[in-house]
Amino acid sequence: MDSHLISLIIARMNRPLPGYHSHNQVMNHRKPIADINFEKLNPRKSAVLLHLYPFQEKLHISYIERPIYNGVHSNQISFPGGKFEEHDESLLHTAIREANEEVNVDPKEVEVIGSLSEIYIPPSNFLVKPYISFQKTRPNFIADIREVQQVIETPLEYLLSQELGNHQIIRGTETAQVKGYLINGKVMWGATAMITKELIDICNGL
């Protein structure tokens, strides 16, 4: 397993995060967080977990594919996560709880590395806090079929070798051009691609 990548991420998490520099390359029409009036918008707080673990002698990261449903994030590639609940102790607790509920990540096995830059998602009015975590063994993934169509496991080195590209997606009855990454034969775009881009830039020392 490529353990030096973990050490690299931990070391670079102590530097200023690339944040908007990374996000802007994916969706350049989105405003920087600092320019958004959150008092007026009153966004719903949420958190996601970028969970790393060894598998087949390589460091992997897990994504999920959402099922088809009547909602703005239907059938999209995302990270395990969800909205902050009143009983959550913190947004980190939210991220770990949701990863446990959605794909059976064991909270006792999670080692938190740090957090990435917040992202605001206008269509759903979510303010998302991403956290990076590590587990010494591959999780026993079990997808909650109500929220997850499938778990997608990807070697981190595969992501680091990918170029941000232009892709065509279908949204309802229309097509749209987006920037993102191909993962498991599907287009990962939007907030998930923005978060992934920041992780890639951190790994590449940008």
Strand order in the sheet with 174-183: 165-171, 174-183, 186-189
Supply 91's token pair: 């947004």
Please report the pLDDT score of residue 175 as a whole number: 87
Determine the Cα–Cα distance for residues 90 and 50; give it in Å rounded to an integer.
17
pLDDT above 80 (res 81): yes
Chain centre distance of CA 124: 16
pLDDT above 90 (res 152): yes
Confidence of residue 184 (pLDDT cuts 50, 70, 90): confident
H runs (alpha helix) in 109-189: 156-160
33-77 pLDDT tens trace: 999 999 999 999 999 999 999 999 999 999 999 886 555 545 789
Please report the pLDDT score of residue 20 as a whole number: 95
* pTM across the whole model: 0.93
Q: What's the CATH number of domain 3-162+189-203, 3.40.50.2300, 3.90.79.10, 3.40.1190.20, 3.40.190.10?
A: 3.90.79.10
Query: What are the extents of the domains in the chain?
Result: 3-162+189-203
Stretch 114-123: mean pLDDT? 95
Nearest to 138 by CA among 126, 150, 149, 151: 151
Please report the pLDDT score of residue 23 as a whole number: 97
